[in-house]
Chains A and B, each alone.
Chain A
């Protein structure tokens, strides 16, 4: 469990052996016939002020992890140790909270309330995540009202300030979401997330639905806000080219498990898991001169309700051997990476060569 990549600071969040299974029920009596193992024994740490990216294809469990951390889902097993001196849980002393952290996984809804302010989410689709019948003012002010942090003139000032911070004009606060473009709506979503002064922001595919020209604006904004408010991001994305640009460290997931975790630079230059290599090779590069000999993975992502034996990736892996079919590789340190592959030491995998910025 102490799989720490050298970092002197104490983690803000420690995810320890997290599991989230969704039951499959069948028949008239809806008997429990199996589980979709959306997240299957995942451990990682998130450090203050860093951006940790969770990447993987659809169904790999990255969104489920985000929702567990935000406690939109109750985990099936495992711990979510959250350390923040600013939040004092009911019935404890502040010092307890910072030493080991509080396990969010087991807290009741009531006890979670102080943490709800600290951990906020930004969603993918700004057309679906804003209530069309609420004005921008109400959308942004709502969390402040619920947590009884401001009212009246103060509330209005605070909303105006938040709007300015995300690059919206406060004059528009009485308008409804339909009057805004996709990029502006995402700014509203971000303002709402920031309203409670959070520590940890879970950005679930926050820029995936945006057009490229606007996506760049939002990414720059998120970086500025991180610097300004000391935010920690859990950045969930399937888009590796965006991840390389925002993340300090990257965790790659495949069918509910972590397969590799490393600093962004290490991961992109020198991947150690064959899935990471294939994922990077599959991205279409915006330069016709790089029309690469791409690694095209055969087959499809395994079914999390009925995963293959051994290493989940072995049916699609170019390097798979007999051992991979039988033995599940644990996540273990290899060099500066954490990798779940039996042959991480011996494989020589291709990453994305560094380009000197010019």
Chain B
């Protein structure tokens, strides 16, 4: 990789492992995840339920709670201001360290799937937005409120001067998600992590919120990490995509290449299994056979091998493939490509 690209890296996750220690056994929710996120770009993390995409996001902010724990790997985040590099390893910080509290909500903000559960029902939305502003930017209550109103206007909430005193139950689902976005943007973060931000919304509202996120990303010059199971949302929003399966990254590629030249058999199968508009009735879908394995009984070798159409008998069920960098810079975790790279 050349120098200029390296400089642009905002976040680099290396071999991140987050496990959950349960009575029934250990769940390797994140089992060695590597990816890079460039400054100002939109990275999509896709995968089906249980693939570890949300746990990866929670790990970055160190929000994983017991019985879960980050057991290995590093999360390198570049806090540099005015060209002075200041790279810190978030994974090494204690969950409640002052440094981390300083980063959360300021450098890295997060929005969640269900705004009703992630906003406080007993505080006005003004209280919730100003809390972070006063803490991180040191503004007075009055100035913070002014900033909150400006933010609410920015995210398209009508009559923000009145709404700032409203409670969340007085807002509709779309309005709540806008409020979440305003709260997240309050301190102009460098990175916004959005965990399924539109899954709970209707399509027309989803279109509004995605459009808002895109505008805000450009306006605030931040990077966006978009976690979703919806390949349509990924295609619409992202520059770069990470595909996850059972806690591992199986492929990372620029969005156009991922959709038009997928390398990993899982990505290929996933793309084939989505109904596409325009084909009319009666087409048959190509499902992936079987179902996602139980987290307590991970398959040996490649975790996808028992559902894979291209598996090599005797190899895929034994050898755990390494993440391979292809000549064009993409990465893929599959034995089919290991020779190609070397």
Contact = CB atoms under 8 A, between A and B. Distances in A.
Contact of B278 (A58, A211, A291, A354): A354
B27 interface: no
Contact of A287 (B202, B235, B284): B235
A355 B283 CA distance: 12
A181 B275 contact: no
A352 B202 contact: no
A300 interface: yes
Interface stretch (B13-21, B91-99, B204-212): B204-212
Interface string B75-87: 0000000000000
Interface string A167-184: 000000000000001111
Give the one of A212, A281, A295 with max B CB within 10 A.
Answer: A212
Interface in A108-167: none
A24 interface: no
B291 A288 contact: no
B25 interface: no
Nearest to B210: A284
A286 interface: yes
Given A284-B232, A300-B205, A352 B48 contact: no
B279 A58 contact: no
Contacts of B233: 284
Contact of B273 (A184, A216, A283): A216
Nearest to B231: A286
B298 to A, nearest CB: 15
A285 B48 contact: no
Given A212-B48, A282-B203, A284-B230, A244 B280 contact: yes
B202 A264 contact: no
Interface in A222-256: 223, 238, 240-242, 244-248
B308 to A, nearest CB: 12
A265 interface: yes
A289 B211 contact: no
B281 A183 contact: no
A261 B211 CA distance: 29
A57 B206 CA distance: 11
B318 interface: no
B243 to A, nearest CB: 12
A325 interface: no
Given A216-B286, A279-B204, A244 B235 contact: no
Contact of A245 (B256, B279, B287, B291): B279
A223 B204 CA distance: 28
Contacts of B291: 181-184, 213-214
Given A213-B287, A216-B287, A286-B259, A238 B203 contact: yes
Contacts of A298: 208
Contacts of A238: 202-203
Contacts of A290: 235
Contacts of A355: 276, 278-279
Interface residues of B, number: 50
B202 A301 contact: yes
A278 interface: yes
A265 B275 contact: no
B274 interface: yes
Contact of B281 (A241, A265, A297): A265
Question: How large, as a class, is the contact surface on chain A?
Answer: 35 or more
Interface in B218-276: 229-238, 255-256, 259-260, 269-271, 273-276
Interface string B150-178: 00000000000000000000001011000
Contacts of B120: none
A265 B204 CA distance: 22
Interface in A50-72: 57-58
A240 B284 CA distance: 16
Contacts of A357: 279, 283
B285 interface: yes
Contacts of B278: 244, 268, 352-355
A282 B48 contact: no
Contact of A291 (B203, B235, B284): B235
B116 interface: no
A289 B202 contact: no
Nearest to A247: B281
B276 A286 contact: yes
B277 A213 contact: no
B292 interface: yes
A292 B246 CA distance: 32
Interface of B: 48-49, 172, 174-175, 202-208, 210-211, 229-238, 255-256, 259-260, 269-271, 273-288, 291-292, 294
The list of the 4 closest CB pairs from A to B, nearest first, reads A284-B232, A216-B287, A213-B288, A216-B285
